[in-house]
Amino acid sequence: MQLFIESMNEQTAQDLHNWKYDKPYDFYNNECADEEKKERLDGTVHITHLLMMLKN
């Protein structure tokens, strides 16, 4: 298993901004404004990727 941490980028911020859950989990939907998206790109927010490689 590998763990990657990197700074937020424009594409990931946009993807998070547009993400929508189906009911009944739609209360998790992101209702943030463009200003919040800009805050995500100010260098203080990081994204974490977890890569798991499964062997057959």
- What's the confidence (pLDDT) of residue 24? 94
Handedness of CA 5, 46, 17, 24 (dihedral sign): positive
* Comparison of pLDDT for 9 and 1, the residue scoring more: 9
Residue 34 backbone phi and psi in degrees, to 5: -60, -30
DSSP 24: T
- What's the confidence (pLDDT) of residue 22? 92
5-54 pLDDT, tens digit per residue, is 777 788 877 887 788 889 999 888 877 667 777 777 787 777 666 555 55
Contact 51, 14 (CB under 8 A): no
Please report, for the chain, the start and end positions of each structural domain, with discontinuous segments joined by +. 2-51
How far, in Å, are 12, 26, 36 from residue 21 at the CA level? 17, 5, 19
- What's the confidence (pLDDT) of residue 49? 60
